[in-house]
Structure 1
Amino acid sequence: MNESNIKASYELAKDRYAAIGVDTEEAISKLETVPLSIHCWQGDDIHGFLFPNQELTGGIGVSGNFPGAATTPDQLSGDLSKALSLIPGSHKVQLHAIYAVTNKKKDLDELDPEDFSYWVDWAKQEKVGLDMNGTFFSHPMLKNGFTLASPDKDTRDFWIEHGKRSRKIAEYFGKELGQQSVNNFWIPDGYKDNPIDKLTPRLRLINSLDEIIKEPIDEKYTIEAFEGKLFGTGVESYTVGSHEFYDNYALTRNKLWTIDAGHFHPTEDVSDKFSAFLPFGKGLMLHVSRPVRWDSDHVVIMDDALIRMMRSLVRDDQLSKTNIGLDFFDATIDRIAAWVIGARATQKALLLGMLSPIDQLKEDENKGDFTDRLAMTEELKSYPFGAVWDEFCARNNVPVGSDWLNEVKNYEKNVTFKR
């Protein structure tokens, strides 16, 4: 896109927003400070490198067979580097334990920080941070649908050890990269049909989690986040780690609660949950996903749900207490394009929330002037926010508009389609 046209359009938008008391320069500067945590598993369909041929289990599944999936650490890190070059701003990358790069065969309960030195070296080169996820699925020790809440002590002990090791790996990330690493816990435990005992599995889960986090680790380096779910494939009747369970666990242990946008009932407004939790809780880890009738992990687009979530965080000034990560996987389209589409959509929704006369709208609301509130929020929908977004991209030296797609097509031709 022509640079002079981008600048001219931006100046017109800047004046238009200024007329309603919105400073576009302030919005651009604020957006610069919001890192996204880009999930690595979009690039290889969640196979990882520890057990690349192992069947996906625990309610995890990927649709599609688009050519060019990464199968080696260099391929995956190269694809991530390409995606990051097309996403404006400075960001982080989320890893799962199965993405360890080791010289010898290891199981999940044997991983050490040095098994992730490959990723730390890459992160330093890319100037990104790293977040961590223990991998509590797709493993023979996922027995009868249970891990940390299993009635079998040997099973619990295996996963407890894995959880402890994931914390040490996250601590390593924080120390090496100079920024806090969020270590997220999600487990698939539950029953397909109606259980007799709903309490005991949750008591076992509490004990397992308490054992995992028993050793104090400086939160300068890492902090734990706990992710609930309404239900999952194969555990339709009872999920041990429900939203209420982890909400309470995070509150009582002074940890983060993870909200995954796809883990709720389709009629729930996920954005409403932020302001209900944050006055009490330490903070949030938000997994941005797009459920289509269920937790289907579609590529994030700038739909109403995403706009509501980002707008809520901006209007309530809760970005400082919220870590925003992406969580989707689609193998029906180019995987690098999926990263770029989802990340840029999330940033656009954030910017849209920032380009609003928030103080004035709150004042109207407090004095009961709902006419002005409704009129202005409707008019804002046709304001030229796209011109501000284009300027943000240009300042960050990434392609403007759909120009990034040309780079992905060239990468397909020269890299991914040759695998």
Structure 2
Amino acid sequence: MNEAYERAKQTYASYGVDVEKALKILENIKISMHCWQGDDVHGFDQSGPLSGGIATTGNYPGRATTSEELMQDMEMALSLIPGKHKINLHASYAIFEDGEIVDRDAIKPKHFQKWVDFAKKHQLGIDFNPTLFSHPKAEKATLSSIDEDIRKFWIQHCQVCIRISEYFAQETGQPCVMNIWIPDGLKDIPADRLGPRKRFKDSLDEILSIPYDHELVYVTLESKVFGIGMESYTVGSSEFCINYVNEKHLTPLMDNGHYHPMEYVSDKISAMLLFHEHLALHVTRPVRWDSDHVVLLDDETKEIAKEIIRNGALDRVFIALDYFDASINRIAAWVIGMQNMQKALLQALLMPHDLMKKMQDKEDFTGLMVLQEQMKSMPFYDIWQQFLNTYDMDECWYEEVQAYEKNVLRKRGV
């Protein structure tokens, strides 16, 4: 393997690429791993069905049903993913004890103490999301609701989530990205598009009226093109969210499943970076629509990574994953997605971007196409193997997952 790595290093060096520098950079890139892959977005604060356009398909055995099981599964997945990363929590994953029941407008940092302990144990950061779905008061609308009591409930929920996000940042020593997304919209043609958006804007204004440490918490706003039950009208559209974050100097969040099929987030990144200090991403794999399939090493994932790297934006872009597949082993789904995001970033780090930019500026488009195609057949695998070796890992991780499934998951009875 060392011989193969040395040969690969020399091959990349002939294009002006410093492989060791690329590996060192990759080692320090934190990707936020979403907890909701492990239990199909059920959470711990409610027992009802998923709602708000959220749906999972499949019934693979072994779904986590308790916080202990979910942490155990996440620990297993993280042991197979090189590097130190972050975990991404929804507010619905609050942990209550001794029969305590707390609604979402009253959750406190103490309800996430076990998550902080877990993060500290594994040297992880924590990102956070208010949960504005799968709740009786989210059946029709949340922050855009015409019912003032419901709207106030969700405003309070988001405000307490800001406080919890500050707690995460203070405890872990890493900034917390707190993302707001709402499932509000209409199934059929609306009579009033402006009213709900005005109420949404007023709600956001009130949420952000409380003071918080902007160095510790990055509040983001996530748009959506449509969803189940809101096929004709989405309150939090891309235009609304981009204009709002611009006005309030927040961080925009782009989920690459939340756009029309022929729109690509990779193409949007450079435009957003020109106008925003930071940018947040939810990387997923939409199949025909926002279906949240496991991230693969596909063209769009690689293009997203290239845009981050070639624009020198690693310190400005927060990378998180967002998918939930209940048809396959959930731990394998985590590992596949996280490793594929890392592979995409490594491939991007191993490209001669400066040379390519010069060729484009000189309008040497033939030479550029030749070089781009040559990069596709470079000995990337040998470099990736070397990266795994530094963490005493290899490509045989699935055997460990299979053993864990046999010994742990299939004994759960779900």
Instruction: Tell me which of 48, 60, 73 is aligned to 2:67.
Output: 73
CA positional deviation for 1:216: 2.0
Instruction: Tell me which of 363, 376, 397 is aligned to 1:404.
Output: 397
Aligned partners of 1:66 and 1:123: how far apart in 2?
Answer: 27
Contact 1:251 1:282 in 2 (8 A): no
Question: What secondary structure, in the 3-state scheme, does the structure 2 residue paired with 1:314 have?
Answer: helix
Gaps of 5+ in 2: none
CA positional deviation for 1:414: 1.4
Instruction: Tell me which of 310, 313, 334 is aligned to 1:339.
Output: 334
Match of 1:118 in 2: 114
Where in structure 2 are the equivalents of 1:16-415 lying within 5 Å?
16-51=11-46, 53-103=47-97, 104-144=100-140, 146-397=141-392, 399-401=393-395, 403-415=396-408
Q: Deviations over 1:340-399 (max 9, x none)?
A: 0000011101111111111111111111111221110111100001111111111123x2
CA positional deviation for 1:244: 1.1
Contact 2:282 2:319 in 1 (8 A): yes
Q: Deviations over 1:269-301 (max 9, x none)?
A: 210111111111131110010000011000110
- Percent identical: 49
Normalised by the length of structure 1, the TM-score is: 0.97
RMSD: 0.9
Equivalences, count: 410
CA positional deviation for 1:408: 0.4
Question: What secondary structure, in the 3-state scheme, does the structure 2 residue paired with 1:296 have?
Answer: strand
Question: What secondary structure, in the 3-state scheme, does the structure 2 residue paired with 1:26 have?
Answer: helix
Contact 1:42 1:329 in 2 (8 A): yes
Aligned partners of 2:231 and 2:131: how far apart in 1?
Answer: 21
Q: Deviations over 1:296-323 (max 9, x none)?
A: 0001100111111111111111221110
Question: What secondary structure, in the 3-state scheme, does the structure 2 residue paired with 1:301 have?
Answer: coil
Question: What secondary structure, in the 3-state scheme, does the structure 1 residue paired with 2:291 have?
Answer: coil
Contact 2:52 2:134 in 1 (8 A): yes
Contact 1:148 1:160 in 2 (8 A): yes
Aligned partners of 2:48 and 2:261: how far apart in 1?
Answer: 31
Which aligned runs of 4 or more in structure 1 are off by greater than 6 angstroms? none
Aligned partners of 2:262 and 2:236: how far apart in 1?
Answer: 21
Question: What secondary structure, in the 3-state scheme, does the structure 1 residue paired with 2:290 have?
Answer: coil
Aligned partners of 2:302 and 2:152: how far apart in 1?
Answer: 42
